[in-house]
Structure 1
Amino acid sequence: MMTFWGLMIPLIGTTAGSACVFFLKGKIRPSLQKALLGFASGVMIAASVWSLLMPSIEMSQNMGGLAFLPAAAGVLVGVFFLLILDRSIPHLHLGAKSPEGPKKEKMKKATMLVLAVTLHNIPEGMAVGVIFAGALSSSSEITMAGALTLAVGIAIQNFPEGAIISMPLKSDGGVSRGRAFLYGTLSGVVEPVAAVITILLAGLVTPILPYLLAFAAGAMIYVVVEELIPEASQGTHSNIGTIGFAVGFVIMMVLDVALG
């Protein structure tokens, strides 16, 4: 039961953030959006390091001086996996005029905005799935408290992410508040789905758990460097995004060290 709720925590964060569409009027101010994007970036980078890469290296200590290999290989494969998804799925980023990926002439703007956030959420779901797989494995040093910490951290950064997708859908996408909330929530459904699939795979191939941890970290790092940081740095006052990054990074680091 604890594992179930652990997998659902990130979706709850996305749903709560998407519900902001019912309480906030108009658009999110650009400065606030930059801060939220920076905050999400900081949480994801800190989670990648403390919750995924460090456990991956620690689990590979029996390899001696080559203990870095699973982490290095996993990160690179995770980056290339997201690169392939980025090129294969049509999506539209906030503030962008033209979509990325395969051209779909008839696809609605709202749909492509949701697909962009869904693409971000896949590696987060994988990260939660692999950390819980490690906690459930008797051969792993990952604790259930550490897994829950990562889930809570991702839920915290999912809250502003949910607001960032639902608010523009209402103001720019031309959809109702109810549909904007629904689309924002659906963009987060991929997280528990990806988590469950990852747990099932990790249960079959426990020996490669260090690679899977690093794979999830690489996928999250790709999203931050390719999408979130550039979006937070657009236009003037990009230092607001940098401050948000620092705050998110520190909060996730403290959570992981104190509770993990």
Structure 2
Amino acid sequence: MDIFLGIMIPFIGTTLGASCVFFLKDKINPNVQKGLLGFASGVMVAASVWSLLIPALDMSENMGKFAFVPAVVGFSFGIVFLYLMDMLVPHMHINSETSEGLESNLKKHTMLLFAVTLHNIPEGMAIGVVFAGVLSGHGEITMAGAITLAIGIAIQNFPEGAIISLPLKSEGNSRKKAFLYATLSGIVEPIAAFITILLTRFVTPILPYLLAFAAGAMIYVVVEELLPEASQGEHSNINTIGFAIGFMIMMVLDVSLG
């Protein structure tokens, strides 16, 4: 039951954020959006370091001077995986009129959802991997640490849900439909987490690689998507402040609760 609730926490964060469409105006203030994107980036980077890369390194201590190998290999594959997904899956980022990936005739809101789904996959995998580590009995990963990661991702999913639902409403969708689309964009996280947990028996031997893989994929999303979007236009320092706040909050959560 604890694990089920744990993998659902990030999805709840997205849902709560999407519900903002019922309470706020059609658009988020651009400066607020910059701050929220920066905040989400800070949370993801801190989670990648403290919840994923450091445990991966700790698990590989028996390799001596080569303890970095699983982290480097996994991290690299995470970057490559998201790069390939970025090149193949048709999607469109917020505030952009140009689609990416393979050519398609999909509607704009569908491609916006695909863009979010792309970077929700590694987050879901990260949740699944840490809970798989708990189930496998690895001392480097505790239930408290896994729940902390889930809470951290939920925190950054909240503004993400709002950033998705409000633009969908401003494009002519009803509030209910915008809420539904934004909520569904987060369903891939518990699905990816659940599948990863089901494969615990196969995951355990390569757990350090998978932890680093999830970290690489999350860092790719931050550098390729979130930070560039947050830096557009004037007052780009707002996203820097948001990043610092998100990073510190996730760091405090992980160190104090993990």
TM bucket normalised to smaller: over 0.9
CA RMSD of aligned residues (A): 0.8
TM-score by length of 2: 0.98
* Cα distance in 2, alignment partners of residues 141 and 111 from structure 1: 40
Partner of 2:29: 29
Matched, 1:45 2:48: no
Question: Which one-letter code corresponds to 1:257 in the other structure?
Answer: V
* Cα distance in 2, alignment partners of residues 91 and 205 from structure 1: 30
Shift of 1:244: 0.3
Partner of 1:181: 179
For these two proteins, the number of residue pairs brought into alignment is 258
Matched, 1:90 2:90: yes
TM-score by length of 1: 0.98
SS in 1 for 2:200: helix
- Which has the larger displacement, 144-153 or 83-92? 83-92
Question: Which one-letter code corresponds to 1:181 in the other structure?
Answer: F
* Cα distance in 1, alignment partners of residues 194 and 82 from structure 2: 19
Mind listing any 5+ residue stretches in structure 2 that lack a counterpart?
none
Question: Which one-letter code corresponds to 1:21 in the other structure?
Answer: V
Asked if structure 2 preserves the Cα contact closer than 8 Å seen for 1:202 and 1:209, the reply is no
Shift of 1:88: 1.2
SS in 2 for 1:188: coil
Structure 1 runs of 4+ with >4 Å offset: none
Matched, 1:200 2:198: yes
- Which has the larger displacement, 108-117 or 214-223? 108-117
Shift of 1:206: 1.0
Asked if structure 2 preserves the Cα contact closer than 8 Å seen for 1:42 and 1:246, the reply is yes
SS in 1 for 2:233: coil
Identity, % of aligned positions: 71
Residue 240 (structure 1) aligned to one of 233, 238, 241? 238
Residue-by-residue CA offset, 1:88-134 (whole Å, 9 max, x unaligned): 111110111111001112x1111111111111111100110101111
Shift of 1:196: 1.1
Shift of 1:140: 4.2
Shift of 1:12: 0.1
Asked if structure 2 preserves the Cα contact closer than 8 Å seen for 1:51 and 1:146, the reply is yes
Question: Which one-letter code corresponds to 2:137 in the other structure?
Answer: S
Shift of 1:163: 0.2
* Cα distance in 1, alignment partners of residues 103 and 128 from structure 2: 32
Shift of 1:25: 1.2
Shift of 1:205: 3.3
Partner of 2:78: 78
* Cα distance in 1, alignment partners of residues 160 and 174 from structure 2: 19
Mind listing any 5+ residue stretches in structure 1 that lack a counterpart?
none
* Cα distance in 2, alignment partners of residues 126 and 140 from structure 1: 20
* Cα distance in 2, alignment partners of residues 11 and 205 from structure 1: 23
Asked if structure 2 preserves the Cα contact closer than 8 Å seen for 1:46 and 1:249, the reply is yes
Asked if structure 2 preserves the Cα contact closer than 8 Å seen for 1:71 and 1:214, the reply is yes
* Cα distance in 1, alignment partners of residues 162 and 85 from structure 2: 24
Kindly report which structure 2 residues correspond to 1:148-227, keeping only aligned pairs within 5 A, or say none: 148-172=147-171, 174-227=172-225
Asked if structure 1 preserves the Cα contact closer than 8 Å seen for 2:48 and 2:218, the reply is yes
Asked if structure 1 preserves the Cα contact closer than 8 Å seen for 2:136 and 2:200, the reply is no
